[in-house]
């Protein structure tokens, strides 16, 4: 039996379109859910059935079957096939466009996530940098504060040391001043004591001299004869001679003679005031003997007051020869 090839072809076409319809009805155009394990991207697949493979005899039967069909039916079938292919291509194109859009959205989302991540990292870096700068600033301020505190402590210490040194110097000066005042007081007291002793010694000396002068005066006015061998007022006589002799005796009593002065005669001239004070003393002769005689006169300082009626008693010239 011969099979029309056209009829076989149309039959095969209808079979394929039925398969495609079945497959198309089972294919979801919605975006597939992302696997929970997050492994890889999802690939949308469309199964397209290839033309049926058969024996040469089968193909001839299909061709003969197509040829035996009505041309109008063949045209309608051709239109359906073309429509089915167009629909299939449209669906494939839509799925492809959807996949591209999904990939684009995914890429955009990844780009936005990368941008956000970069911005977050940048912000974190800036915050970290700010934190480090704040930390450095705080450390610098802390260090500056510590240095300021140290400087203030050093200043206070220096001021305290300076004050202590000044107080020590003041105390030392006060001590020295007190010691100086004490020493001055001691020296003053010593000087006063020495002056007192000197005054007492001078008073004693004057008292002794006055006693001797009084004794001399009593002797002068209590006797009528002069001292034998005495020379006064140039060896004259009367009251002046007696007064001169007694003065010479008083001097000789106070005179300290050493062996080197033995036998060396000197002439002593003195003036005696109305109160008995000695002045204008002079000496001629050996210098050593004169110095000794004049020192003796200064030591005596005062003689008995000369008699008022004796005008020559105010100037006395005595010749003196030291004898041991």
The domain limits of the chain are 4-27+44-124, 219-320
- Ordered DSSP codes for 223-261: -SSPPTT---TTT--HHHHHHHHHHHHHHHHH----GGG
- Please tell me the predicted confidence (pLDDT) of residue 228: 31
Query: What integer is the mean pLDDT of 1-23?
Result: 66
Share of the chain above pLDDT 70, in %: 71
The pLDDT of residue 309 is above 70: yes
pLDDT at position 55: 52
Find out whether 185 and 223 touch, Cβ atoms under 8 Å. Answer: no
More confident site: 74 or 237:
74
> 61-70, 233-242, 244-253: which has the minimum mean pLDDT?
61-70
CA pair distance 301, 209, nearest whole angstrom:
8
Considering only residues 310 and 166, tell me which one the structure prediction assigns the higher pLDDT.
166
Kindly state the percentage of the chain with pLDDT values over 90: 34
pLDDT-derived band of residue 99, with 50, 70 and 90 as boundaries? very high
CA-CA distance, 193 to 66, in Å (whole number)? Answer: 173
226 has a pLDDT exceeding 50: no
> What local confidence, expressed as pLDDT, does residue 241 receive?
83
For residue 49, give the nearest of 88, 11, 5 by alpha carbon: 88
Q: In whole angstroms, what is the distance from residue 289 CA to residue 128 CA?
A: 117
**By C-alpha distance, which of 284, 283, 274 is closest to 305?**
274
What CATH class does 219-320 carry?
Answer: alpha beta
pLDDT of residue 313: 85
pTM above threshold 0.85: no
Q: Cα–Cα distance between 291 and 256 in angstroms, integer?
A: 11
C-alpha to C-alpha distance for 29 and 24, rounded to whole angstroms? 9
Contacts of 245 (CB under 8 A, 6+ apart): 226, 227, 230, 231, 232
- More confident: 308 or 92: 92
In the predicted model, what is the mean pLDDT of residues 274-286?
90
Confidence of residue 235 (pLDDT cuts 50, 70, 90): very low
Checking if the pLDDT of 291 tops 90, the result is yes
Least trusted range by pLDDT, from 34-48, 157-171, 265-279: 34-48
**Residues 278-294: what's their mean pLDDT?**
92
Q: What mean pLDDT is reported for the chain?
A: 78
pLDDT (average), residues 72-91: 90
Q: How far apart are CA 135 and CA 219, in angstroms?
A: 121
Highest mean pLDDT among 27-31, 130-134, 191-195, 272-276: 130-134
pLDDT at 197: 83
Mean pLDDT in residue range 44-48: 48
pLDDT at 119 over 60: yes
Residue 49 contacts residue 18 (beta carbons within 8 Å): no
């Amino acid at each position: 039996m011969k099979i029309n090839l056209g009829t076989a072809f149309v039959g095969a076409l209808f079979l394929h379109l039925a398969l495609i319809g079945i497959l198309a009805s089972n294919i979801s155009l919605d975006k597939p859910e992302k696997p929970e394990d997050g492994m890889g991207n999802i690939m949308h697949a469309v199964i397209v059935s290839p033309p049926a493979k058969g024996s040469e005899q089968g193909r001839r039967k299909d061709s003969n079957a197509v040829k035996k069909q009505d041309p109008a039916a063949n045209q309608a079938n051709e239109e359906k096939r073309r429509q089915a292919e167009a629909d299939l291509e449209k669906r494939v194109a839509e799925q492809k466009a959807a996949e591209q859009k999904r990939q684009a959205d995914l890429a955009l989302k990844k780009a936005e996530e990368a941008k956000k991540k970069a911005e977050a990292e940048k912000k974190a870096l800036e915050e970290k940098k700010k934190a480090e700068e704040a930390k450095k600033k705080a450390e610098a301020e802390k260090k500056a504060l510590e240095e300021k505190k140290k400087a203030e402590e050093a200043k206070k210490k220096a001021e305290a040391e300076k004050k202590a040194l000044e107080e020590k110097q003041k105390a030392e000066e006060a001590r020295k001043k007190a010691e100086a005042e004490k020493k001055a007081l001691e020296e003053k007291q010593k000087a006063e004591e020495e002056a007192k002793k000197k005054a007492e010694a001078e008073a004693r000396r004057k008292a002794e001299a006055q006693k001797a002068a009084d004794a001399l005066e009593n002797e002068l006015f209590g006797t009528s004869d002069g001292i034998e061998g005495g020379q006064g007022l140039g060896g004259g006589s009367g009251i002046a001679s007696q007064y001169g002799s007694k003065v010479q005796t008083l001097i000789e009593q106070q005179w300290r003679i050493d062996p080197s002065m033995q036998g060396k005669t000197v002439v002593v001239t003195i003036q005696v005031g109305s109160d008995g004070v000695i002045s204008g003393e002079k000496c001629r002769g050996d210098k050593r003997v004169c110095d000794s005689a004049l020192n003796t006169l200064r030591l005596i300082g005062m003689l008995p007051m000369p008699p008022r009626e004796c005008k020559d008693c105010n100037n006395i010239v005595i010749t003196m020869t030291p004898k041991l």
